[in-house]
Structure 1
Amino acid sequence: MLNNPGHPLPMNGGFELGAHQTKTFTVPDHWAGRFWGRTGCDASGHCQTGDCGNKIACNGAGGVPPVSLAEITFDGDGGQDFYDVSLVDGYNLPMKMLPIAGTFRRVTNSHYDCNEAGCHSDLNAHCPNELAIRSGNKVIACKSACLAFNTDEYCCRGAHNRPETCKSSQWKVNYPAMFKKSCPEAYSYAYDDHSSTFTCHGNPSTGYVVQFC
């Protein structure tokens, strides 16, 4: 886990989680930050994907991309939270984020009101060769086009730093479209907001599940 600046860091930023295990923790109202999973880890905390500096508790370090991310900004006090699952930094694991029944209230009929954000597909299974990260013959993560090629066009910077000039449909190879086809409820590139950002109102404060599936 990584807190946004000015917010506390829960659980020292990371812990080991076995198959079918859960961890429960609380954060204060108005907290903001991100969550990710690490894979191929040894006893010292060095991980093949999502590594945060060869340690179990990340202590404020981010995960090395490519990595699937769950991001949230809490409002609290019955206000509106914003959350999403992002593949902008690439992909390593399927994951989803959803509000816990009984802790929220819907205020619209929108698909993006208190529903599940996430990516259920195994993108590693059909990651293009030029984006693939391998351990031996196995693909363990899939880079974003920005991470792989580091161009202004793919990274939505420079002359492409606005939604009007950073459109995946204009790119020579539309890598984000491959991600979006497999994971329609997740961010595929920086300006993919309209079909990726979810909101929810607390009742009075929403609880969420982040699941690696």
Structure 2
Amino acid sequence: MALPRSMSVLVLLFLVMWRREGEAATFTFVNHCTDMVWPGILSNAGSARLEPTGFELAPGAARAVAAPSGWSGRMWARTGCTHDGATGRLVCATGDCGSGAAECAGAGAAPPATLAEFTLDGSGGLDFYDVSLVDGYNLPVLVETSGGGGGPSGGPTAACAAAGCASDLNAMCPAELRAGGGAACRSACDAFAQPQYCCSGAFASPAACRPTAYSQVFKTACPRSYSYAFDDPTSTFTCGGRPDYTITFCPGATPRSGR
């Protein structure tokens, strides 16, 4: 049964404040969607696997996951997940990691999926984080910090900023990028596989790969998210002081998760 939002906030505050010795950060996942979501977690090469690597999260629920110092990786939400009647495998409409289970066990999200990306204790001892639409979009995601201090990469020091996309991009997705019957929006790179959209080949540099009409749709709706591969200055954020993080799915509680 879903928790009332007021109770979810109290649970969230308790989870964020609780940290065992030696942990660099606590990630608290919050589901404000009207449907169940299945968060997935993928550690980068050389980073420890977090436990769990995936789980189900009911509407209104929150769950904390601890990460060690130096961890880096990505997180996302799978939507529209059901168990196949013949095989029993978990199959998701968007963000499926292909594991066939709640745990992703080292597998990443199939695009399109909205990604939250983190590097803890990076250059200068700062954490780096962003919300990326480079692999497309399936639902709104907001990343907020608790404690610490920082700002956009290369920018002035300030209170740690929120990153993310709270808009329903599925409602404004160009017809040629729509996926899953409108449950997700593909990136132009995924849809067309052309170098100018993928920032590959002759376009594999910030000078050569510039915003396109498609990436501008994402950027206009979600200015604090990555819209294409070299969209760094306004999309990557830093935070010092060992903050904790809250990843909220459907922060505005307006769109439904994909089915």
Aligned: 1:201 with 2:240:
yes
What residue number does 2:95 align with?
50
- Counterpart code for 2:225: A
8 A contact 2:145–2:162 mirrored in 1? yes
What residue number does 2:206 align with?
163
Aligned: 1:151 with 2:212:
no
RMSD: 1.9
Secondary structure of 1:36's aligned partner: strand
Query: Of 51, 67, 70, which aligns to 1:27?
Result: 67
Q: Per-residue displacement from partner, 1:24-72 (whole Å, max 9, x unpaired)? A: 1211111000000010001442100000112210000001000000000
**Which blocks of at least 5 consecutive residues in structure 1 are unaligned?**
none
Query: Of 109, 114, 118, which aligns to 2:160?
Result: 114
Query: Of 50, 62, 73, which aligns to 2:119?
Result: 73
Large movers: runs of 4+ above 2 Å: 105-113
Query: Of 1, 8, 17, which aligns to 2:57?
Result: 17
- Counterpart code for 1:191: F
1:52 and 1:112, CA in 2 relative to 1: closer, same or farther beyond 3 A?
farther
What residue number does 1:2 align with?
42
TM-score by length of structure 1 reads 0.89
**Which blocks of at least 5 consecutive residues in structure 2 are unaligned?**
1-40, 84-88, 251-259
C-alpha separation between the residues in 1 aligned to 2:52 and 2:145?
23
- Counterpart code for 1:209: T
TM-score by length of structure 2 reads 0.74
What residue number does 2:141 align with?
95
Secondary structure of 2:131's aligned partner: strand
Secondary structure of 1:96's aligned partner: strand
1:112 and 1:2, CA in 2 relative to 1: closer, same or farther beyond 3 A?
farther
Deviation at 1:112, TM superposition (A): 7.4
Query: Of 140, 148, 169, which aligns to 1:104?
Result: 148
What residue number does 1:178 align with?
217
Query: Of 245, 249, 254, which aligns to 1:212?
Result: 249
8 A contact 2:69–2:121 mirrored in 1? yes
Q: Per-residue displacement from partner, 1:126-184 (whole Å, max 9, x unpaired)? A: 1111000133xxx100000000000011000000000000011xx4xx10000000000
Question: Percent identity, aligned pairs only?
Answer: 48
